A and B are shown apart, each in its own frame.
Chain A
Amino acid sequence: MNTLKSIMKWTGAAAVCLLFFSSTAWSQSKLTDPEIASVAVTANQIDVNYGKIAVKKSKSPEIRKFAETMIKDHTDIIKQAVALATKLHVTPKTNATTKSLLEGEKKTTKLLNSKKGKAFDKAYIDNEVAYHKAVINAVQNVLIPDSQNQELKDLLTKVMPLLNSHLQMAENTQAEIQGK
């Protein structure tokens, strides 16, 4: 149940959530380590992709700086996750969660690409706040408890302070651009 709740928040798309309810894949709530590796890499890559859109489209120094940090930090985490998966001989396995994340990314990318100027900045940073809240919830309540390998669990645990810091930075940036 926790898995389902977390994924619902994660995607932020009602239509995708309805698909989850009808999917038999979610009757099996526990993720395996290869599935967790896939989810972790995908979730990080999605935020890198959002950051790249922001760097390309935004003229706001605050938004651009935040986006550049997201690109750098999440790329570093991907490298570490891939290195660990390689060391543990774990091949990331695409699964229903990965697919739903990618569906959510498609919708959000479409939304972001439809906005310009301040409306884009607001849409981007609002999404970053929501996305980080959802990812924090999923890592804490699903990925860490479900992971079997201790090194994978440790890496996910080490990522938590970074995600919390990103959320605080996103909220601060959100407040800064609202005041302008």
Chain B
Amino acid sequence: MARPDHMRFHAEIGLPLEALIKSGTAQPVLAPRFPSASGPISVPFAPVAAPHEGVEFHHFWLRHRAIAGDEASDLFDLSPAIALDHSVGAGAPLWDAVLKGGLAFGLRLERGRYAGALLQLAQRAGALVDAGKAGDHAPDEHGDLAGDLVIECGPERSGGGAQAEAGAWSNGRLTLPCTLPCTSTLPGAEWQVCVNAARRFVGLSAPLANSANEQREYTRLAQQEAQRIADMDALLQESDPLASHTFASTHPALARKLALFAACGRIPTEDFEVFTPPEWLAAMWGRGVRPRRYDRMANRMPQQQLIEWLASLKRQRDALTRARETV
């Protein structure tokens, strides 16, 4: 699966979205299901609703729940992305609603076709893709390809320990962290780390004999990114994320995230986050983490306005649900 960054990446390499969808290579997805210890969680790419005067929507929802009690809809019951997910395929009537609404969406990829499309692009750009015909680049007696730099993308690695697992560039080898176990289970993570690694390498490309600084920086960035992915995986897989004290030492940034969210509903972001605040919100919410209070700034909205806003969102969500059911 490709994350919403596909729009930028495919524009960068010249792969039109429309062609991907029409050829059946890609299918839009708005709220992938993340596996977790408490069952799958729908994690929409888009926020449930836009912030108001700098205050995230969930604070208003929390205030509304304090007013309406059990009569309030669940926060994610109001999510248009969840309402529309699985209903926005190529040519589907609700596709326009996604585009007009500016909802962030990813792509569920047909792996073989997608790889084929990328292969064609690479070949057109001059890449040699068949080792058997690559002359100087033919494998040696150990099966290794000769080259100034080897980029390891597959699951079979030549070692390197924890650093290589997280992604590193050293000694003529650049490893992608896409084979970390959690990148294959978290939707879109594998695709995103590959894209980020490619961009990072392009941004840091340097003569191989004189690239120690660039290699260090690449490795630093890749490892931080891997930590953020591992944080999300730990949140999802820990049997009781709030009761666990292990995060403080093993995942300190996640521990901070959980503590702050539980205390006041804020979601701090770290450097090199792969997942956005709306995704962290959905994941924490899905794992049963709830803020003890909402942002006081949410009180600035008059109560009647708040009630009308929430009612309007519910009407919009119901309309989308009805439209989905009639498609």
Genuine A/B complex:
no
